[in-house]
Amino acid sequence: MSILKKTVAAAAVLALAFAGFLAAPAQAAKKVDVIFAGTEADTTPQSQALHEVAKRLRASGQFNVKVFTAGSLSGDTDDLVTQALQGANIVVPSDPGRIAANQKVPEYGILMAPYVLRDYKVLDKLLTTDLYKKWEKDFEKSGLKLVTNNWYNGMRHFVTNKKIDKPADLKGLRIRGFGNTIGMNLAKALGYAQTSIPAGDIFPAVQTKSLDGCEIQVPFTFSNRLYEVLKYNTMTSHYMLTSSIVTGLKFFNSLTPEQQALFVKTFRDVGSEYQSKVAQVEEQNLKAMQDKGMIINKVDTAPFEKAIAPYYKDMGFSPALKTELFKQLGIK
């Protein structure tokens, strides 16, 4: 489907979604109508966190919120962000690598560079750093409002039918991953063929043998039952995936200052509260998948880190940027 057709289709779905608000009682007319649109299954921590934010904003009496998960509004995150940039009242969980590339703020992508951030406990502090505040302003130049990036979504690992103990074991495999600069360089460094099919297509693609596996976070692997078609979850922990919660600046600026403050605070509070919950879910999911026959393969990550190191320059990150980020986060 062409980008134009995708955008038209998404706009049509949004129009239908907002139509439901028109039937609201007259006394709710002053409430702000907003849609949350995610692509993950409704059972994942990210989706549950969206529902929690919606619940709190509704309780304030100032917002009408509808939540769409599992790609029910659109399975294309980039398309949803485009709708937000065009002025739709929509909030989208994306990721640092994706929006860094699409909105031309390359430095922001370091938050998802391989083996940079490893502990979700730094995420709340991240929001207070000068670097993060600069990135917020950089995104606003393209019309995007970065609401928060303290939503921990899990560590990414390789999930395959071949046992992976070292980078060379990935050579030649067709792996679903991120199609941005970071993802392509990760594939180049580790020797696999990267493909960017929608996450929801991983299961059937493995079944038809057009895909050998994926690099994905544990809650997704479990919720999408990938353990039924893939045997090994190799604990490479190469990315710490966070959700960048974004909306259009046009919509955000339409809110009163009080509504803006409540909006941002609610997303950040829920993000902070759910960090440890996601970590617990990861442990529970791994145990459950192991019980179902999946092999949880714990490996020495040092060879993977060594293989990736030469490619940081190709990803657009200077050594000085990483040093400065660590300094501001208090990471030694």
List, for residues 119-135, the tens digit of each pLDDT value.
Answer: 999 999 999 999 999 99
pLDDT at 64 over 90: yes
pLDDT of residue 17: 52
Q: What is the 3-state secondary structure (H, E, C) of 235-260?
A: EEEEEEEEEEEEEEHHHHHCCCHHHH
Task: Taking residues 204-228, report their average pLDDT.
Answer: 96
Q: Are 207 and 229 in contact (CB under 8 A)?
A: yes
pLDDT of residue 14: 54
Please provide the distance, in angstroms rounded to a whole number, between the alpha carbons at the two ends of the chain.
Answer: 47
Of 142-151, 193-202, 224-233, which range is least confident? 193-202
* Separation CA 223–CA 291 (nearest Å): 15
Contact residues for 279 (Cβ-Cβ < 8 A; gap 6+): 120, 152
pLDDT of residue 8: 45
Of 298, 236, 215, 242, whose CA–CA distance to 119 is shortest?
Answer: 242
Strand partners, 152: 242
Contact residues for 322 (Cβ-Cβ < 8 A; gap 6+): 110, 113, 116, 312
H or E stretch covering 67: strand 63-68
pLDDT above 70 covers what percent of the chain?
Answer: 91
pTM over 0.85: yes
Task: Taking residues 18-42, report their average pLDDT.
Answer: 70
Average pLDDT, the chain: 91
pLDDT at 273 over 50: yes
* Separation CA 269–CA 104 (nearest Å): 28
Radius of gyration of the chain (CA): 20
Nearest 5°: the CA angle 97, 206, 69 is: 50
Which pLDDT band, with edges at 50, 70 and 90, does 180 fall under? confident
Of 252, 244, 268, whose CA–CA distance to 52 is shortest?
Answer: 268
Which pLDDT band, with edges at 50, 70 and 90, does 199 fall under? confident
Q: Which long-range contacts (CB under 8 A, 24 or more apart) does 163-170 make?
A: 163/232, 163/234, 163/295, 163/297, 164/232, 164/234, 164/236, 164/297, 164/299, 165/234, 165/297, 165/299, 166/299, 166/303, 166/304, 167/191, 167/303, 167/304, 167/307
Q: State whether CATH 3.40.190.170 applies to domain 3-329.
A: yes
- Considering 16-25, 27-36, 156-165, the range whose residues carry the highest mean pLDDT is 156-165
Task: Taking residues 83-94, report their average pLDDT.
Answer: 97
Structure tokens at 12: 């049509």
Q: What are phi and psi of 4, to 5 degrees?
A: -60, -45
Task: Taking residues 39-47, report their average pLDDT.
Answer: 91
280 or 2, which is more confident: 280
